């Protein structure tokens, strides 16, 4: 199971239509990326937020979840306290990557603010799916930033 802390939920009240993607290519109004074809992407996004869950099976229960991509608000100052952070760039946006052996997580800053920063999170199980994380991160195109 994958978990992330330090974000304020941006989810809206607009109805979500769950869609699945398989085959290694994903695109919606928010993002576009490639992923290993044995995985399945569940798209819980709507017109006000991006929320993707990545599974190792077509059975989309929490035990099979290996990663996620979502937008939230974070505090750049709070994130700077992580000692094992590495500066990264995804889709021409700066961010930080944090690995702890269990998870690999990137915080991609979508604007230049320091507090309530619009942020894209890319988070994966680091024990078995580090390569999947890297493929998603390397091919990510951010198409839309929430207003």
Model confidence pLDDT, tens digit, residues 102-121: 999 999 999 988 888 999 99
Contact between residue 112 and residue 100 where contact means Cβ atoms under 8 Å apart: no
Instruction: Give residue 17's pLDDT.
Output: 55
Higher pLDDT, 126 or 82: 126
Instruction: Give residue 2's pLDDT.
Output: 43
CA distance 140 to 138: 6
Picking from 105, 78, 73, 103, the residue whose alpha carbon sits closest to that of residue 7 is 73
Picking from 140, 142, 123, 118, the residue whose alpha carbon sits closest to that of residue 29 is 142
Contact between residue 67 and residue 128 where contact means Cβ atoms under 8 Å apart: no
CA distance 17 to 46: 7
**Is the Cα dihedral 74, 112, 98, 67 positive or negative?**
positive
Model confidence pLDDT, tens digit, residues 22-62: 889 999 999 999 999 999 999 999 998 999 999 999 999 99
CA distance 135 to 147: 27
Instruction: Give residue 5's pLDDT.
Output: 42
pLDDT (average), residues 55-82:
88
DSSP H helical ranges for the chain? 76-79, 130-139
CA 130 vs CA 59, 77, 101, 103: distances in Å: 21, 26, 10, 8
Q: What domains appear along the chain, each with residue ranges and CATH number?
A: 18-142 (3.40.1000)
């Amino acid at each position: 199971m994958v978990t992330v802390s330090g974000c304020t939920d941006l989810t809206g009240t607009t109805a979500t239509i769950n869609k699945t993607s398989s085959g290694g290519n994903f695109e919606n109004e928010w993002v576009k990326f490639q992923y290993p074809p044995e995985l399945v992407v569940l798209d819980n996004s709507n017109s006000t937020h991006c929320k993707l869950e990545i599974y190792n099976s077509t059975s989309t229960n929490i035990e099979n979840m290996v990663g996620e991509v979502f937008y939230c608000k974070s505090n750049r100052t709070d994130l700077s306290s992580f000692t094992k952070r590495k500066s990264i760039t995804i889709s021409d946006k700066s961010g930080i990557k944090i690995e702890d052996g269990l998870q690999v997580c990137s915080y991609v800053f979508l604007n230049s603010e320091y507090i309530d920063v619009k942020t894209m999170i890319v988070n994966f199980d680091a024990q078995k799916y580090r390569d999947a994380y890297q493929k998603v991160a390397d091919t990510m195109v951010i198409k839309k930033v929430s207003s």
